[in-house]
């Protein structure tokens, strides 16, 4: 089963929005008012309070892993393939 949201595409959308000036990185640091409103729960029904997804700035907290080093050409052995002539065909 696939995830409902692809984090990579969300980061791409956020990055494009910052580039277009729709929001800034500082705007993404703070929880929106609607997020805060959604975390207000009835303590009688939810005695532990909100325990769902925690807010994070996906652009600021994103630390991509270092790309793996390119393979060294010496790691591959070069073997020449001998082409057969039509006269080598036994049939």
pLDDT of res. 44: 86
pTM confidence score: 0.52
Element (H, E) at 29: helix 25-29
Residues with Cβ within 8 Å of residue 50, at least 6 apart in sequence: 39, 40, 41
User: pLDDT tens string for the chain (91 positions)?
Assistant: 667 778 888 888 998 999 999 999 888 888 888 888 888 888 888 888 888 888 888 888 666 666 666 777 776 666 665 655 666 655 5
Residue in this structure with the two tokens 């790309």, named with its chain if needed: 67
Residues with Cβ within 8 Å of residue 11, at least 6 apart in sequence: 58, 59, 62
């Amino acid at each position: 089963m696939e995830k409902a949201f692809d984090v990579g595409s969300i980061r791409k959308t956020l990055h494009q929005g910052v580039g277009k000036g729709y929001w800034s990185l500082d705007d993404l640091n703070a929880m929106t008012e609607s997020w805060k409103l959604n975390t207000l729960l009835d303590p009688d029904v939810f005695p532990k309070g909100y325990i769902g997804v925690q807010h994070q700035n996906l652009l600021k907290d994103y630390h991509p892993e270092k790309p793996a080093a390119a393979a060294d050409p010496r790691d591959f052995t070069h073997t020449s393939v001998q082409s057969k002539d039509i006269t080598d065909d036994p049939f």
